[in-house]
Amino acid sequence: MDKSKRVAMRVMGLSYSQIQTGAYALILSEINGPVKLPIIIGAPEAQSVALKMEGVIPPRPLTHDLFVSFAHGFGVTLKEVFINRFEDGLFSSELTFSDGEREIVLEARTSDAIAIAMRTKSPIYTTREILEETGFVMENDPTVGDTADGTSNDTETVEPDEDMTPQSPSSHPKIENYAIEELEKMLADLINKEEYEEAAKISAIIKRKKSDK
């Protein structure tokens, strides 16, 4: 496929899937365009994505972290992720790796591909056909008109919409009223217990409270 015809995407956020119980919707956003691409992923993959989005560092590496460390240890870099197919309700992706002398293209689940791309700050692409078939446009979208050139996918500089981030833990309905210091202690305790999904939620609340000050 002509690479000039591919569409650059970035990670926008996560939301609970209304279609599949126990699953999440990973939302990608077209760079310099209005189209959003929802991808249904499982809870473990959503946890991995959420931790990276919120900057939570687990005490022990998760699978995607280990993969990236292994690749870097052998001088292999991820050049790009290409979401190239949508068949029977499933997305498929290709990862292009390089060791400086040769390139290897591997197939992967899209959820894994994106989780790895986020950790390596590698660009993510798809086709216009896939966007037309599965994408949607949000009204009054504040992200339309992004100035990113599409050559990178630095999700750490992208703030997901509030309704796209994991919601506050249902067991703590007043959690957002906690002081930042209390939330940070709670976050540290959750990370030590390796309860990463809850840690990501608390981290999102801390970030919002700090930005409101």
Q: Tell which residue, 49, 52, 44, 51, has the closest CA to residue 22.
A: 44
* Domain hosting residue 187, numbered range: 167-213
Structure tokens at 53: 């989005």
Show which of 118, 137, 159 is a domain's final residue: 159
Q: Report d(CA 98, CA 106) in Å as an integer.
A: 11
Q: Could you tell me the CATH number of the domain that includes residue 29?
A: 3.10.690.10
Let me know the angle formed at the C-alpha of 123 by 58 and 33, rounded to the nearest 5 degrees: 115
Residues 118 and 213 occupy one common structural domain: no
Residues 77 and 97 in one domain: yes
Together in a domain, 114 and 207: no
pLDDT in tens, 138-192: 766 655 544 333 334 443 333 333 333 333 333 333 577 677 887 888 888 888 7
- At 185-208, the pLDDT tens digits run 888 888 877 777 777 778 888 888
6 vs 9: CA distance, rounded Å: 10
Same domain, 103 and 18: yes
137 lies in the same domain as 205:
no
Token digits of residue 117: 């791309």
pLDDT digits (tens, 9 = 90+) for 74-89: 999 999 999 999 998 8
Per the confidence metrics, is the pTM higher than 0.85? no
Tokens of 188: 């540290």
